[in-house]
Protein backbone atom coordinates (compact mmCIF):
# COMPACT_ATOMS: atom_id res chain seq x y z
CA UNK A 1 0.00 0.00 0.00
CA UNK A 2 1.23 3.47 -0.87
CA UNK A 3 1.12 6.17 1.72
CA UNK A 4 -0.54 9.45 0.87
CA UNK A 5 1.55 12.59 0.81
CA UNK A 6 -0.10 16.01 0.61
CA UNK A 7 2.49 18.79 0.85
CA UNK A 8 1.06 22.30 0.49
CA UNK A 9 2.88 25.04 -1.42
CA UNK A 10 1.96 28.72 -1.58
CA UNK A 11 2.64 29.97 -5.12
CA UNK A 12 1.84 33.59 -4.37
CA UNK A 13 -0.58 35.57 -2.24
CA UNK A 14 -3.57 34.26 -4.20
CA UNK A 15 -2.87 30.61 -5.00
CA UNK A 16 -1.87 27.48 -3.08
CA UNK A 17 -1.09 24.01 -4.43
CA UNK A 18 -1.69 20.63 -2.81
CA UNK A 19 0.65 18.05 -4.38
CA UNK A 20 -1.28 14.79 -4.18
CA UNK A 21 1.02 11.77 -4.14
CA UNK A 22 -0.14 8.20 -3.53
CA UNK A 23 -3.66 6.88 -3.07
CA UNK A 24 -6.82 8.89 -2.38
CA UNK A 25 -9.42 6.69 -0.65
CA UNK A 26 -11.79 6.96 2.31
CA UNK A 27 -8.74 6.69 4.60
CA UNK A 28 -7.46 9.98 3.13
CA UNK A 29 -10.29 12.09 4.54
CA UNK A 30 -8.54 13.60 7.58
CA UNK A 31 -5.24 14.24 5.78
CA UNK A 32 -6.98 15.80 2.78
CA UNK A 33 -9.17 17.99 4.99
CA UNK A 34 -6.11 19.20 6.93
CA UNK A 35 -4.14 19.90 3.74
CA UNK A 36 -7.08 21.82 2.27
CA UNK A 37 -7.55 23.85 5.47
CA UNK A 38 -3.88 24.83 5.31
CA UNK A 39 -3.87 25.51 1.57
CA UNK A 40 -7.12 27.48 1.48
CA UNK A 41 -6.18 29.95 4.21
CA UNK A 42 -6.27 33.44 2.74
CA UNK A 43 -6.09 32.54 -0.97
CA UNK A 44 -8.42 32.91 -3.97
CA UNK A 45 -7.72 29.46 -5.40
CA UNK A 46 -6.39 26.03 -4.51
CA UNK A 47 -4.79 23.87 -7.22
CA UNK A 48 -4.88 20.12 -6.73
CA UNK A 49 -1.80 18.70 -8.48
CA UNK A 50 -2.52 15.07 -9.38
CA UNK A 51 0.81 14.43 -11.18
CA UNK A 52 1.87 11.80 -8.63
CA UNK A 53 -1.57 10.29 -8.00
CA UNK A 54 -1.34 6.51 -8.05
CA UNK A 55 -4.93 5.54 -7.31
CA UNK A 56 -8.26 7.14 -6.48
CA UNK A 57 -11.51 5.29 -5.88
CA UNK A 58 -15.11 6.46 -5.58
CA UNK A 59 -14.56 7.44 -1.94
CA UNK A 60 -11.67 9.63 -3.11
CA UNK A 61 -13.95 11.28 -5.66
CA UNK A 62 -16.42 11.91 -2.85
CA UNK A 63 -13.68 13.63 -0.82
CA UNK A 64 -12.99 15.92 -3.79
CA UNK A 65 -16.67 16.87 -3.84
CA UNK A 66 -16.38 17.75 -0.13
CA UNK A 67 -13.36 19.97 -0.87
CA UNK A 68 -15.27 21.60 -3.72
CA UNK A 69 -18.17 22.44 -1.40
CA UNK A 70 -15.76 23.94 1.15
CA UNK A 71 -14.03 25.99 -1.55
CA UNK A 72 -17.37 27.28 -2.84
CA UNK A 73 -18.48 28.24 0.67
CA UNK A 74 -15.25 30.21 1.04
CA UNK A 75 -15.77 31.80 -2.41
CA UNK A 76 -12.60 30.18 -3.72
CA UNK A 77 -11.78 28.38 -6.95
CA UNK A 78 -10.74 24.73 -6.91
CA UNK A 79 -8.56 23.78 -9.88
CA UNK A 80 -6.84 20.56 -10.93
CA UNK A 81 -3.76 19.75 -12.97
CA UNK A 82 -1.70 16.68 -13.77
CA UNK A 83 -4.65 14.32 -14.22
CA UNK A 84 -4.02 11.20 -16.28
CA UNK A 85 -6.39 10.45 -19.18
CA UNK A 86 -8.11 7.85 -16.99
CA UNK A 87 -8.90 10.33 -14.21
CA UNK A 88 -9.84 13.06 -16.72
CA UNK A 89 -12.49 10.65 -18.02
CA UNK A 90 -13.73 10.01 -14.49
CA UNK A 91 -13.96 13.77 -13.88
CA UNK A 92 -16.02 14.06 -17.08
CA UNK A 93 -18.29 11.11 -16.23
CA UNK A 94 -18.97 12.46 -12.73
CA UNK A 95 -19.25 16.02 -14.13
CA UNK A 96 -16.62 17.18 -11.65
CA UNK A 97 -14.91 18.85 -14.61
CA UNK A 98 -17.83 21.30 -14.75
CA UNK A 99 -17.08 22.54 -11.21
CA UNK A 100 -13.33 22.00 -10.93
CA UNK A 101 -11.24 23.62 -13.64
CA UNK A 102 -8.93 21.04 -15.23
CA UNK A 103 -5.61 22.16 -16.69
CA UNK A 104 -2.67 20.44 -18.32
CA UNK A 105 -0.10 22.12 -16.11
CA UNK A 106 0.24 24.03 -12.87
CA UNK A 107 1.18 27.17 -14.81
CA UNK A 108 -1.99 26.98 -16.91
CA UNK A 109 -4.08 26.56 -13.76
CA UNK A 110 -2.33 29.47 -12.04
CA UNK A 111 -2.88 31.72 -15.07
CA UNK A 112 -6.61 30.94 -14.93
CA UNK A 113 -6.96 32.39 -11.43
Per-residue pLDDT of the chain (113 residues; tens, 9 = 90+): 568 999 999 998 899 999 999 999 999 999 999 999 999 999 999 999 999 999 999 999 999 999 999 999 999 999 999 999 999 999 999 999 999 999 999 999 999 99
Q: Which range marks the domain in which residue 53 is found? A: 8-111
Query: 3 in a domain, yes or no?
Result: no
Q: What is the pTM of this model?
A: 0.95
Pure H helices in 1-113? 29-39, 58-73, 85-93, 106-111
Q: Which residues of 69-101 are buried (b: 16+ CB within 10 A; e: fewer)?
A: ebbeeeebbbbbbbbeeebeebbeeeebbebbb
Query: 2 in a domain, yes or no?
Result: no
| Structural domains in the chain (count) | 1
Query: 1 in a domain, yes or no?
Result: no
Collapsing DSSP to helix, strand or coil, 70 comes out as helix
Collapsing DSSP to helix, strand or coil, 40 comes out as coil
Amino acid sequence: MTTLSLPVRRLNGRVSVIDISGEVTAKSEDALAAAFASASSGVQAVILNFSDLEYMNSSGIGLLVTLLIRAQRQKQKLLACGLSDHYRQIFQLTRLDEAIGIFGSENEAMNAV
